[in-house]
Structure 1
Amino acid sequence: MSVAFLFPGQGAQYAGMIHDIKNKWGLSPTFEEASEVLNQDVLSLDSSEKLKCNKNVQICLFIAGVATVRSFKNKGYSPDVVGGHSIGAFGAAVASEVLSFKEALLLVKKRGELMENAYPDGYGMGVVMGLREHQILSIVHELSTDAAPVYVANLNSPDQITISGTLKAIEKVLEKASKKGARKTKMLHVTVPSHCPLMEGVSSELRKTITEVKGKDPAVPFIGNCKARKLWKAADIKEDLAASVALPVRWHDTTEVMYEMGTRLYIEMAPGRVLTDLAAKSFPEARAISAAESTMKTLLILMEKEKM
């Protein structure tokens, strides 16, 4: 297995992202289908103002990822393995044929609504670069309180880790991490405390909805968020999608599993490049490239080369 498709999570969004994909690759049927399912014009959702809404961010990222996959499939190319970071996992589920586009889109909408309603303001996420997990855990344990909780969330790489919780507590952790030698710290463009115990209620509600969707066993290997393992059954993938919202994303382990499976070309679906940079740093013997920053001709040449 040599080619992995990676689907980015929140933070990759930017104003005009859906329009850029449409202008670059066409794919009008994807956007028309999405608009029909949601009963609104999805091209109206990627403005700066609309992307302040967490639900719209998730919808746009999902549609962007699926549209990119469809551009490959229209050329007769498919991945050997897929994985998505947080909301990106829903795009991966469509790419592996576990969920239909319509099923996944409605679940993404529900997920965004649940998350936004649970924590409308005062919460978010931050990232620390240059410290290890045990160092950040120590800081979090020291500064987190019942009134202002903060948690270690996503493990993006051995020295790039996100934290999630109240904005007040996140700011304190970032400040202390900088004093402890972190290379860089910053708040993320995420308005909810994803991937931590604060989202257990959302996870439970999402599970009720997702169990009603039958789904299919994957046609392409799917690497889950929660345990970073290959999941071969639709039920296991649906559970991973529901549970992940309240659990850390073990992203470095996910891409490492792909590498151990033989992946030597990681292609990140639009609109991201963060996952591209992480893969390039972690696996220098492999190739990592962002679809959003490349031409389809280049991407297909690289895929052909890997499959030779």
Structure 2
Amino acid sequence: MQVLITFPGQGTQRPGMLRDLPGDPAVVSVLAEAEEVLQVPVAEMDTPERLQSTVWTQLCLLTSGVAMARCLAAHDARADAVAGLSIGAYAAAVTAGVLSFADALRLVRLRGELMAQAYPGGYGMTAILGLDCTRLAPLVAQVCSPQRPVYLANFNAPTQTVIAGSEAAMTEVSALALAAGAQAAKPVAIHVPSHCPLLNGAAQALQRAMQGVVLTRPAARYFSASKARELRDPGQIADDLALNMATPVRWHETMLLAHANGARLVVEAPPGDVLTRLAQPVFTDGVTLACDRARLDSIVAIVKRHAAN
């Protein structure tokens, strides 16, 4: 049974998320490398104040994902495949051996800076629950304008779509969606309009910076959540990483792809269990597991047992 590790995106972060990781030598090593590259003590990375920053939120999510994946690998609980939502793609690429952790830290810091500089305020993302995309799309098109931009951004599940844009436009779309039968409209803890054309310029700047970074072919299967397909070529993965901030997330399609390619155990790196809940309807014949605050020995035992089958 193939093992897929998934890595969450922004909105799942919480203060103390790095402190809650297992006290394992592999985790300690990853945290030490993060301290060395970023020149900030780990204890100061995931404070409530730091996590108000897009830059530090992304750096903490990257570090948490890589630390958990390396911890599992150190206990012979390795992934056959990886997939990451938004910033999670960087942890996926490191885990697959495509990109060094040090390079990923530098790129993600630049990524966060570019995103924050492009939209320092008045923009963000909102999750619309209980309304399918065919009914939501016309409402977004009705509101979107150059003065009040809003776009479909994350296709997380058949009835869970995230929109991105100006706060005023998202508020209007949310009201229309609720009137059309949506169950809820919930602002996401993301202060930039990710996964839409508003970040094209920032994505292109990161793509240029990526040209100086060495990437190698993945040692595990790398499923792109932007393209909903497997990528093997390092150049294609480089573009996938650089441009994903301005590209819609096709998470549900990516989970269907992973299932069709044999994945049956889905292990979500911390923090949170958002991706586990999204995976459950797809992997009804498998097992979905969130690592966050779970016992390491239990996680390892489950991964080893299913990997052997």
- TM-score past 0.5 threshold: yes
Contact between 1:35 and 1:42, CA under 8 Å: does it hold in 2?
Answer: yes
Counterpart CA distance in 2 for 1:26 and 1:17 is 16
Output the amino acid matched with 1:207.
Answer: Q
1:77-88 to 2 correspondences below 5 Å: 77-88=77-88
Output the amino acid matched with 1:226.
Answer: S
Q: Which residue in the other structure is 1:66 paired with?
A: 66
Q: Which residue in the other structure is 2:230 paired with?
A: 230
Q: Which residue in the other structure is 2:220 paired with?
A: 220
Output the amino acid matched with 1:106.
Answer: R
Deviation at 1:304, TM superposition (A): 2.0
SS of 1:3's equivalent in the other structure is: strand
Q: Which residue in the other structure is 2:205 paired with?
A: 205
Output the amino acid matched with 1:163.
Answer: I
Output the amino acid matched with 1:109.
Answer: R
Q: Which residue in the other structure is 1:286 paired with?
A: 286
Deviation at 1:20, TM superposition (A): 1.2
SS of 1:281's equivalent in the other structure is: coil
Contact between 2:24 and 2:71, CA under 8 Å: does it hold in 1?
Answer: no
Name which of structure 1's ranges 249-258 and 280-289 shifts more when overlaid on structure 2: 280-289
Q: Which residue in the other structure is 1:5 paired with?
A: 5
1:236-251 to 2 correspondences below 5 Å: 236-251=236-251
Output the amino acid matched with 1:271.
Answer: P
Q: Which residue in the other structure is 2:165 paired with?
A: 165
Name which of structure 1's ranges 103-112 and 20-29 shifts more when overlaid on structure 2: 20-29
Counterpart CA distance in 2 for 1:266 and 1:41 is 32
Counterpart CA distance in 1 for 2:290 and 2:254 is 18
Q: 1:178 to 1:22 in 2, by over 3 A?
A: same
Output the amino acid matched with 1:35.
Answer: E
**What is the TM-score with the length of structure 2 in the denominator?**
0.97
Alignment: residue pair count? 308
Counterpart CA distance in 2 for 1:26 and 1:44 is 20
Counterpart CA distance in 1 for 2:282 and 2:183 is 17
Counterpart CA distance in 2 for 1:196 and 1:3 is 31
Counterpart CA distance in 2 for 1:119 and 1:241 is 20
Counterpart CA distance in 2 for 1:239 and 1:26 is 29
Contact between 1:31 and 1:43, CA under 8 Å: does it hold in 2?
Answer: no
Counterpart CA distance in 2 for 1:22 and 1:247 is 33
Deviation at 1:214, TM superposition (A): 1.6
Q: 1:169 to 1:24 in 2, by over 3 A?
A: farther
SS of 1:31's equivalent in the other structure is: helix
Counterpart CA distance in 1 for 2:73 and 2:227 is 29
1:47-58 to 2 correspondences below 5 Å: 47-58=47-58
SS of 1:185's equivalent in the other structure is: strand
Q: 1:233 to 1:296 in 2, by over 3 A?
A: same
Output the amino acid matched with 2:68.
Answer: T
Deviation at 1:25, TM superposition (A): 7.5
The answer to whether the aligner puts 1:115 opposite 2:129 as a matched pair is: no
Deviation at 1:22, TM superposition (A): 5.3
Output the amino acid matched with 2:185.
Answer: T
SS of 2:77's equivalent in the other structure is: coil
Q: 1:26 to 1:236 in 2, by over 3 A?
A: closer
Counterpart CA distance in 2 for 1:11 and 1:64 is 14
Structure 2: tracts of 5 or more residues without a match = none
SS of 1:139's equivalent in the other structure is: helix
Counterpart CA distance in 1 for 2:303 and 2:27 is 21
Counterpart CA distance in 1 for 2:13 and 2:224 is 22
Q: Which residue in the other structure is 2:134 paired with?
A: 134
- Summarize deviations over 1:203-229 as a string: whole Å, max 9, x none: 100000112112101000100122111
Counterpart CA distance in 1 for 2:304 and 2:27 is 22
Counterpart CA distance in 1 for 2:109 and 2:214 is 18
Counterpart CA distance in 2 for 1:135 and 1:197 is 21
SS of 2:280's equivalent in the other structure is: helix
Contact between 2:26 and 2:74, CA under 8 Å: does it hold in 1?
Answer: no
Deviation at 1:24, TM superposition (A): 7.5
Contact between 1:86 and 1:249, CA under 8 Å: does it hold in 2?
Answer: yes
Name which of structure 1's ranges 128-137 and 55-64 shifts more when overlaid on structure 2: 128-137
Output the amino acid matched with 2:103.
Answer: E
Q: 1:283 to 1:265 in 2, by over 3 A?
A: same
Q: Which residue in the other structure is 1:257 paired with?
A: 257
Counterpart CA distance in 2 for 1:27 and 1:91 is 14
Q: Which residue in the other structure is 1:30 paired with?
A: 30
Structure 1: tracts of 5 or more residues without a match = none
